[in-house]
């Protein structure tokens, strides 16, 4: 049974591949097991050089093999993981290691970069925030004349890179595979900043609402945001180390100019980590502020009930005295006895209220002003 105070979105937005890792426990290393619910596979190839570029969508592995070698750089942008045979065929055609292919279909993977004979393999997560955090795994293979980017589903994450390739005199068109990999990795890292902005806006909105009135529903929203921040930290921390490894121990394919750009990616990853640390502290402060606001509300309620009880204590005493009905009580036969008892009760209640106000316990008395 879910805990009270947590929203339903938090229970639904886990990465859908979290449980599929158990499928690889007792299998042969290098086995390509398709995760349940995988999207249909689609291959798009973009081949380019300084003066020419071709772009083909929904191509086959045979067509990719026919295009290879005709252009300086070949970018294979693949989406969907439901075709195990196609993954194996492309891996054989490009010489991709089976262990790297296994990591590609094992979801989710920790961000990392590994060198294999003839190519480089890297994997990371692309975030999205639509009312809650979701992630999509992206894998990269970098060879001497090709870059393969493989994502779980189609999305606009790499559209900015494709637009840069359309500029004939652009840097991307005249650079090699190492710069293309940098551009794709930079697009992944840049995708974190809109997510951070949305989380920051929600934290600011929560802060403003807490200053107005603390509601029990806010506790579930704060728990969701804290969960999202923790998940992002688990993703970005190894991503920062991944970029740092590339800068400190660059592969032979990477030129010195590309390493300068990778250092900029590392700086952006550090900025993301700093923002997440600030969000974590802000979430903890909001939780403490919420607890303080709820405690203050409870104290105000208890104070009001205590004041009401205190006022009625002497009134109950007076009513008890005149309710004894002894025969020789002088006020029983007096015509003004009943109005006197009521007036005495009123004077006592008014006197108590005036005393409480003077002490600043209620209203804006002199004691509170001091």
pLDDT along the chain (370 residues), means of 10: 41 43 58 83 92 90 91 93 91 93 89 91 92 90 94 89 85 90 94 93 86 77 88 91 88 89 92 92 83 78 81 80 69 73 83 80 59
322: tokens are 């005149």
pLDDT at position 149 is 95
Q: What is the pLDDT of residue 24?
A: 55
CA distance 225 to 204: 12
C-alpha span between 109 and 123 (Å, rounded): 7
Question: Which two structure tokens, joined as six digits, stand for 138?
Answer: 């992206």
CA–CA distance, 230 with 356 (Å, rounded to integer): 48
- Residue whose C-alpha is closest to residue 244's, from 224, 228, 221, 268: 268
- CA gap 103, 96 in Å, rounded: 12
pTM: 0.77
Structure tokens given for 45: 């190839």
Per the rule left: phi > 0, alpha: psi between -120 and 50, beta: everything else, 318 is alpha
Quickly count: other Cβ atoms within 10 Å of residue 312's Cβ: 14
Total residue count of the chain as it appears in this document: 370
Beta-strand relationship, 146-151 and 73-79 = parallel
pLDDT at 122: 94
The predicted structure's pLDDT at residue 1: 35
For residue 108, cis peptide bond before it (omega within 30 degrees of 0): yes
pLDDT at 4: 40
Q: Which long-range contacts (CB under 8 A, 24 or more apart) does 64-69 make?
A: 64/90, 64/93, 65/93, 68/93, 68/145, 68/146, 69/145
- Using CA atoms, how far apart are residues 188 and 236, in angstroms rounded to an integer? 11
Angle in degrees, 0-180, between the axes of helices 256-322 and 192-212, rounded to the nearest 10: 20
């Amino acid at each position: 049974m879910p805990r009270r105070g947590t929203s339903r979105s938090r229970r639904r937005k886990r990465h859908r591949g979290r449980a599929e890792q158990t499928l690889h426990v007792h299998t042969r290393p290098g086995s390509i097991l398709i995760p349940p619910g995988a999207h249909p596979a689609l291959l798009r190839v973009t081949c380019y050089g300084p003066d020419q570029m071709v772009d083909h969508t929904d191509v086959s592995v045979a067509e990719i093999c026919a295009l290879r070698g005709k252009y300086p750089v070949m970018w294979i942008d693949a989406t969907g993981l439901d075709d195990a045979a196609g993954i194996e065929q492309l891996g054989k055609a490009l010489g991709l290691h089976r262990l790297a292919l296994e990591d590609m279909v094992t979801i989710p993977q920790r961000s990392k970069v590994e060198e294999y004979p003839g190519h480089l393999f890297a994997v990371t997560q692309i975030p999205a925030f639509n009312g809650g955090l979701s992630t999509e795994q992206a894998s990269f293979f970098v060879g001497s004349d090709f870059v393969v980017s493989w994502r779980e589903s189609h999305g606009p994450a790499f559209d900015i890179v494709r637009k840069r390739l359309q500029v004939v005199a652009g840097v991307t068109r005249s650079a090699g595979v190492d710069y293309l990999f940098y551009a794709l990795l930079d697009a992944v890292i840049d995708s974190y900043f809109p997510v951070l902005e949305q989380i920051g806006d929600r934290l600011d909105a929560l802060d403003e609402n807490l200053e107005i009135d603390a509601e029990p529903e806010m506790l579930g929203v704060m728990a969701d945001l804290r969960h999202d921040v923790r998940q992002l930290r688990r993703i970005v921390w190894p991503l920062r180390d991944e970029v740092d490894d590339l800068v400190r121990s660059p592969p032979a394919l990477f030129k010195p100019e590309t390493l300068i750009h990778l250092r900029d990616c590392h700086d952006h990853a550090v900025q993301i980590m700093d923002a997440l640390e600030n969000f974590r502290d802000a979430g903890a402060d909001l939780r403490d502020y919420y607890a303080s606001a709820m405690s203050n509300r409870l104290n105000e309620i208890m104070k009001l009930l205590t004041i009401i009880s205190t006022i009625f204590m002497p009134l109950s005493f007076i009513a008890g005295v005149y309710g004894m009905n002894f025969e020789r009580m002088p006020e029983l036969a007096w015509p003004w006895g009943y109005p006197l008892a009521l007036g005495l009760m009123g004077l006592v209640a008014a006197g108590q209220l005036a005393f409480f106000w003077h002490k600043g316990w209620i209203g804006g008395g002199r004691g509170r002003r001091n």
